[in-house]
């Protein structure tokens, strides 16, 4: 496995605004990229990472909403969105910022796993928020586009 560079809005923002193409087949190369993404996400202390955040314009992301609970999604599709919850979000591609975002309280998401097998999960609360955040990246949407309020988290102390 290898750690990858995370694309940020300051450095290469236009990449983050593009819609990703589907993955044709889960190959050993795709599995290696997914594994690299998990390592990169963990090293950066994130809870999710989408392929465009490492410069790969394919519809896939990884998420670890709780330590040791890793999800791999290839060609995901959110099929159910229910309710609303407002919560704070940050993003590895938008450093030193956070925002309040309204997300579904519950979702159902399906797609392929790391081995190319069909999977479907129902998530609520924080888990649903993480999956929606990463899913948005695949369509070129950043949390700042949906935020009701955005604020800096790196205010320097005098």
27-63 residues labelled b (16+ CB within 10 A) or e (exposed): eeebeebbebbbbbbbeeebbbbbbbbbebebbbbbb
Dump the DSSP string for 12-29.
HHHHHTSPPBPPS---HH
For residue 52, give the DSSP letter.
G
Q: Is 134 tagged catalytic?
A: yes
Catalytic residue among 25, 77, 134, 158: 134
What CA dihedral angle connects 127, 140, 8 and 96, to 10 degrees?
Answer: -50
Compute the distance between CA of residue 14 and CA of residue 30 in angstroms, rounded to an integer.
23
Residues with a catalytic annotation lie at 134
């Amino acid at each position: 496995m290898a750690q990858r560079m995370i694309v940020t809005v300051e450095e290469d923002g236009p990449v983050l605004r593009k819609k990703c193409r589907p993955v044709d087949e889960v190959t050993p190369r795709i599995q290696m990229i997914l594994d690299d993404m998990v390592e990169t996400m963990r090293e950066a202390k994130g809870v999710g990472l989408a392929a465009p955040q490492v410069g790969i314009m394919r519809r896939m992301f990884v998420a670890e909403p709780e330590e040791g609970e890793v999800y791999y999604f290839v060609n995901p599709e959110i099929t159910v969105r229910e309710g609303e919850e407002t919560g704070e979000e940050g993003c590895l591609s938008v450093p030193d910022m956070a925002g309040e975002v309204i997300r579904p309280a519950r979702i159902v998401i399906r797609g392929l796993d790391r081995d190319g097998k069909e999977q479907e999960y129902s998530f609520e609360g924080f888990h649903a928020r993480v999956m929606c955040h990463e899913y948005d990246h695949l369509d070129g949407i950043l949390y700042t586009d949906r935020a009701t309020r955005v604020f800096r988290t790196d205010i320097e102390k005098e």
